[in-house]
């Protein structure tokens, strides 16, 4: 250990909010969350993120963490610059690791938020290790796939590298006739099943119609993914995915309607960590790094 006394810092960056938590063997800051102010201003966003990181570490009794892990929904290039984040386009060009480097003993680790959420779910629920799609339905729609490993000892926990990110939110489920997506195309899953999309459809057509539309779009996307990749289960996370109890039964019905004769329908589960799965995954990965030191 170092002067950080084993404290790790987890940062979950979302489209509308961020949540941070610093935790050590005997200290815990608790969840510190804030919503991004409007309009989008990258410099102001980063200042708020950095100020909250300082507060979390102070509450955990240190100025610097042993490891920092960041769950991030945007796309980074090989050099670590944000190249795409339709929700907050002003972040494009930002090298996120540089903005958070002062808070850790080593440079921060930045991972896809859906991958970290799926990692947390797979560690918590051994039955998911037979092939799982994590679908994060929040401000946007993210995905991560855990491949089945027949050779894996049941006692071995999956590692974060066992999960692959997938842009599930930008699978086109309604070509030409679908609603406009932030990415510039029409008919993406995100335009029909993200939290904001469902809210807009609810306002215009009522909750039952919005839920049916979102479940149908998810069912089509999952069915197509399942033709390419083995899926024993689908885990629904994110604010909408994990928070609406009506979505799983509606999605199960949509999947049954799409199933081929003789095919199997994956189980549909709500995330055990709810909308906190990405943060939980970031904490798990940070603690795994500490354990390897």
- Considering only 73-77, 157-161, 218-222, which range has the smallest mean pLDDT? 157-161
Yes or no: say if 117 and 136 are a contact pair by the CB < 8 Å rule.
Answer: yes
User: What Rg do the C-alpha atoms of the chain give, in angstroms?
Assistant: 19
| Cβ atoms of residues 151 and 178 within 8 Å | no
Cβ atoms < 10 Å from Cβ of 93: 9
The CA distance from 188 to 181, in Å, is 6
* Eight-state DSSP code of residue 80: S
- What's the maximum distance between 2 C-alpha atoms anywhere in the chain? 61
The pLDDT assigned to 1 comes to 47
240 and 275 Cβ atoms separated by less than 8 Å: no
pTM: 0.93
Sign, Cα dihedral of 94, 274, 234, 282: positive
Q: What is the pLDDT of residues 85-128, one digit of tens each?
A: 988 999 999 999 999 999 999 999 999 999 999 999 999 988 78
Q: Which tens digit of pLDDT belongs to each residue from 168-201?
A: 999 999 998 899 998 889 999 999 999 999 999 9
| CB contact burial 140-159 (16+ within 10 A = b; e otherwise) | bbbbbbbeeeeeeeeeeebe
- Please provide residue 275's backbone torsions phi and psi, each rounded to the nearest 5 degrees: -75, -5
Judge if the upstream peptide bond of residue 187 is cis by omega within 30 degrees of 0: no
């Amino acid at each position: 250990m170092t002067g950080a006394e084993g404290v790790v810092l987890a940062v979950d960056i979302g489209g509308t909010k961020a949540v941070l938590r610093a935790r050590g063997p005997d200290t815990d800051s608790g969840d510190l969350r804030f919503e991004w102010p409007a309009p989008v201003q990258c410099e102001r966003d980063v200042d708020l993120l950095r100020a909250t990181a300082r507060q979390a570490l102070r509450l955990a009794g240190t100025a610097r963490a042993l490891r920092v892990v960041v769950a991030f929904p945007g796309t980074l290039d090989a050099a670590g610059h944000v190249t795409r984040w339709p929700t907050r386009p002003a972040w494009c060009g930002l090298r996120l690791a540089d903005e958070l480097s002062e808070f850790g003993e080593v440079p921060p680790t930045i991972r896809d938020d859906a991958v970290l959420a799926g990692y947390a779910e797979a560690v918590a629920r051994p039955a998911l290790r037979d092939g799982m799609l994590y679908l994060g339905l929040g401000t946007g729609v993210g995905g991560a796939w855990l491949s089945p490993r027949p050779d894996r000892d049941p006692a071995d926990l999956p590692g974060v590298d066992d999960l692959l990110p997938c842009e599930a939110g930008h699978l086109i489920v309604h070509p030409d006739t679908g609603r406009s997506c932030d990415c510039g195309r029409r008919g993406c899953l995100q335009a029909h099943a993200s939290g904001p999309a469902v809210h807009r459809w609810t306002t215009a057509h009522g909750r039952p119609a919005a839920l049916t539309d979102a479940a149908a779009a998810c069912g089509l996307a999952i069915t197509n993914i399942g033709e390419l990749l083995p899926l024993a289960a689908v885990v629904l996370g994110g604010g909408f995915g994990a928070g609406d109890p009506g979505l799983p039964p509606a999605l199960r019905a949509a999947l049954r309607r799409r199933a081929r004769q003789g095919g199997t329908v994956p189980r549909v589960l709500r995330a055990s960590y709810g909308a906190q799965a990405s943060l939980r995954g970031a904490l798990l990965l940070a603690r795994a790094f500490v354990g390897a030191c």
